[in-house]
Amino acid sequence: MDVGDERREIERLVEGRTVLDLMARTVAAYGDRPAYSDQADGRETWRTLTWSELHETGRHLAAALIARGVERGASVAIMATNRIEHVVTDHAALLAGGVPLSVYNTLSPEQISYIAGHAAPQAVFLETMDHLERWRVALAEVASIRLVVGIGEVRLDDERFVAWDDLVSEGRDLTPEAVDDRSGAVRPEDPATVLYTSGTTGDPKGVVLSHANVVYECETTLRRNGADPGNVTLSYLPYAHIAERVLSMYLPPHFGDWHVHLVADPALLVPALIDVRPTQFFGVPRVWEKIRAGLTGMLAQEPDPRRKAAIEDALAVGVEYVESRQVGETTSPGLQQRYDAADAAVLTPIKARLGLDRVTWAGSASAPMPVEVARFFAGLGLAINDIYGMTETCGAATACGPGKFRLGTVGTALAGIELRIADDGEVLMRGPITTSGYHRHPDATAALLDLQGWVHSGDIGAIDGDGFLSIVDRKKELIITSAGKNVSPSNIESLLKESPVVGHALAFGDNRPYVVAVLTLDGEVAPTVARAQGIEFADLADLAAKPAIRAMVQAAVDAANARLSRPEQVKAFELLPTEWTAESEELTPTLKLKRRVVHAKYADVIDRLYGS
């Protein structure tokens, strides 16, 4: 079946449907089954809403929003962690005919004021007093805001303020006709959300995604990856990120029999994994790197040589097994038998310690997945399905999956999606998942979408003979040395981070004679490794100065250089005494590197490396 036929088949299937239709169908079929659970506000046990309870609470909230003057088509802004109230508010905004707008919790007051002025929300939902402080300027200056709703601890002396529970109670006492009228008027072409980029350069841009975009994305994604009845997942990335919205807000009601556990703080991910034991798990590359680093440190401390050898042998079988499942390869009966034995005796117990023993599908997106990290988890028998797309394509445009898997690639185009490489190497995409443009930003829209409807990704890539896409790097981030050599910084950084003690790495060399690197320690693994070796230290800064740790980092640089071409090799580096986080500005909320921020913040360090 060609791309056009695939597209027409899916479009016939989803024709006329909205996100609200997905929810209504799931409520009818699975209403009494658990939908979302959380441990918000410090709960020790999980609280749970069924699909029917979620929908009914959303209707009450929608009724109250309408009664409070929220108009059809108006934005409803939400700044909150991943908790039940966030999901209910999103659903309620749609039921009221509005447009939910999740905002990154780490945005500055200036960025929030810009977004609020640009999107003109009529209602704002806030969870913490920190969120309120970030919104104070916007609340004072943006005239459209007529309702401020406090979730949890938030209180505000303002006539527009109402607590979440009180607003839901208001709606419970109202008649539902207004909600039925509003929700019944929602059409596939209407916005299902507007997602603002995190604004690493310039003002944030609002990506408009329609109900039609979302419904098509759900159907084509499930066709590639599938899901089992009783699917159990974790949600811990911000809902302002398209991957999390698709995976835990849109796909669950599309599939129906799906139970999402909401994790408010990514720092709580590991205990949540062990507690929940999901059947599907998605992690951005940095999450997989952290899990790998911790597990590598644990395995390195295995005192029994025979046990250690057995683990290494089992991991080797796991890699061989996963590689045999790639397109064009075959798993022999003998290899299947060896893998089953290794999995039962060694690999499953290791996965159980991580909470990954029930995982039947694992995925990654948002940034390039280092091949060595993917190979490491292949050793555990986990094929991490790399996914590629953008907010502007409503998430995935390509993906690996059952029968469409190849290590080191981001898979092939999803059903009905066109993919090609421009003359300059840029990845272009087209299909029913692509945005109509940026909210109130025609110039940026024109730069994104050409006249033929192709989305210009800004990424450099290549497509092999079987249609598998590989991403080289961001078009604007390629290093061109003063000798005219083109170098991919992300490739260098991935190799540097293979050392468990290295947390983050930035390679620099644009218009310079050679490449240098700025590195940080892994704040969790490096101290563990140090203690195991009897190294005494006061804090991470002190640890970064220890000769033994610096020798480990030097070894990591040497190992990376041994696998790089001469123009790519790191000639000098500096190990910083600090970590990089979203709060300290070097990372986005989804843990991607903000290169320009690092370049500016550590300009003196970079200059010193060239001076030396």
Q: Is residue 9 part of a domain?
A: no
**One domain for residues 517 and 568:** yes
**One domain for residues 247 and 342:** no
pLDDT of residue 200: 47
Q: Is residue 157 part of a domain?
A: yes
pLDDT band at 482 (very low <50, low <70, confident <90, very high): confident
Domain boundary among 436, 460, 475: 475
Q: Is residue 11 part of a domain?
A: no
Give the pLDDT confidence of 389-416 residue by residue, as tens digits: 999 999 999 999 998 999 999 999 999 9
**One domain for residues 182 and 89:** yes
Give the pLDDT confidence of 521-534 residue by residue, as tens digits: 999 889 988 998 89
Give the pLDDT confidence of 259-313 residue by residue, as tens digits: 999 999 988 999 999 999 999 999 988 889 888 888 887 787 788 889 989 999 9
Average pLDDT over residues 73-102: 98
Mean pLDDT of the chain: 93
Q: Is residue 160 part of a domain?
A: yes
Residues 6+ apart with CB under 8 A from 392: 207, 434, 435, 448, 455
Task: Say which residue the tokens 């690999």 belong to.
Answer: 347
CA 282 to each of CA 306, 360, 440, 550: distance values in angstroms, whole numbers, following the listed order: 33, 11, 32, 33
Domain boundary among 210, 244, 276: 276
pLDDT of residue 295: 85
User: Which of the residue ranges 363-377, 409-423, 475-489 would you say has the lowest mean pLDDT?
Assistant: 475-489
**One domain for residues 368 and 321:** yes
**One domain for residues 401 and 528:** no
Give the pLDDT confidence of 299-315 residue by residue, as tens digits: 877 888 899 899 999 99
pLDDT of residue 201: 53
Q: Is residue 265 part of a domain?
A: yes
Average pLDDT over residues 222-235: 94
What number of other Cβ atoms are within 10 A of residue 417's Cβ? 24
Average pLDDT over residues 411-439: 97
Smallest Cα–Cα separation from 487: which of 546, 406, 592, 570? Answer: 570
pTM of the full structure: 0.88
**One domain for residues 117 and 160:** yes
pLDDT at 160 over 80: yes
pLDDT of residue 473: 82
pLDDT of residue 480: 84
Q: Report the CATH number that the domain containing residue 561 is assigned in CATH.
A: 3.30.300.30
Give the pLDDT confidence of 107-151 residue by residue, as tens digits: 889 999 999 999 999 999 999 999 999 999 999 999 999 999 999
Q: Is residue 217 part of a domain?
A: no
**One domain for residues 143 and 254:** yes
pLDDT of residue 334: 97
Q: Is residue 127 part of a domain?
A: yes
CB 197, CB 444: distance < 8 Å? no
Q: Is residue 569 part of a domain?
A: yes
**One domain for residues 471 and 483:** no
**One domain for residues 323 and 443:** yes
**One domain for residues 181 and 237:** yes
Average pLDDT over residues 466-482: 88
Smallest Cα–Cα separation from 292: which of 558, 494, 582, 473? Answer: 494
Domain boundary among 414, 444, 475: 475
pLDDT at 222 over 80: yes
Tell me the percentage of the chain whose pLDDT exceeds 70. 99
**One domain for residues 383 and 514:** no
pLDDT of residue 612: 60
**One domain for residues 55 and 95:** yes
pLDDT at 456 over 90: yes
The number of distinct structural domains making up the chain is 3
Q: Report the CATH number that the domain containing residue 63 is assigned in CATH.
A: 3.40.50.12780
- Domain that residue 375 falls in: 280-475
